[in-house]
Amino acid sequence: MRQLKITKSVSDENELSRLPISQFESSDDRLACAESKFEKRTGLKEGAKVRYIGVSDKLIDYLGSSYSDPRSILDSETIYEIEYIVIGRSYTIVKLVGFREEEFSGAIFQAVDNTEAKKYLNVGDIVRYIGGSEQNIKQHSTLCSNPHDMLDYESVYKVKSIERHPAFIGHTVVRLIGFDEEIFHRILFEKVITTK
């Protein structure tokens, strides 16, 4: 048997194995911690101002049809605002204000200000159902109610509650007042901003 020669020893103060492992009460706590770290590192969060930094043909080929192709839609001079973001285990989905059908990869954006406060969708906020194509609705209605038969396109609704998706990590669902038994995927709505 071959013996390995130790060339460098690791000091006790740098040994990672001695650090306590963070414990979480639930998987929601673990997800919230991961989302917080991602938001702090990248600045990508709901309400954040972002700039399109471009995309290579290779990345578009890799992403396939999972995301919209931004090359003919976005430009690097314009500042965009994130309407909704899904932070999954190995991917991000970014929905921009003013873009109803398009879903982009978070890898193509850079936050303008990493310290900008997150603008949450809150209980009691008004949302507009922006729906989408049949494929989009079907994709985002897994274990959720299909809004196509219940909600009117462009109509506004009041948010009763906001919850984690029952099956998909990082996704959010909403319950609307008047639809107590139904849950809808958050990505099918845009927040309505009212000025006073």
17-38 pLDDT per residue, tens? 454 556 767 777 888 888 888 8
Rounded mean pLDDT of 99-126?
Answer: 91
More confident residue, 20 or 62: 62
Max CA pair span of the chain: 78
* C-alpha count within 13 angstroms, C-beta hemisphere, residue 97: 18
Q: Is the pLDDT of residue 11 over 60?
A: no
Q: Is the pLDDT of residue 139 over 80?
A: no
Cα gap 152→22, rounded to integer Å: 45
pLDDT in tens, 115-136: 888 888 999 999 999 887 777 7
3-class secondary-structure state, position 73? coil
Q: Is the pLDDT of residue 68 over 50?
A: yes
User: For 43-147, where are the alpha helices, taking DSSP H only?
Assistant: 57-63, 134-139
Rounded mean pLDDT of 183-188?
Answer: 90
Enumerate the domain spans of the chain.
27-111, 126-191
Rounded mean pLDDT of 145-170?
Answer: 88
Cα gap 31→24, rounded to integer Å: 10
3-class secondary-structure state, position 119? coil
pLDDT score of 144 = 85
pLDDT score of 162 = 94
| Strand bridging mode 92-96 / 104-105 | antiparallel
Q: Which of 130, 189, 131 is nearest to 160 (CA)?
A: 189
pLDDT score of 32 = 84
Burial class (CB in 10 A: 0-12, 13-18, 19+), 129: buried
pLDDT score of 16 = 47
Task: Determine the length of the chain.
Answer: 196
pLDDT score of 7 = 62
Average pLDDT of every residue of the chain: 84
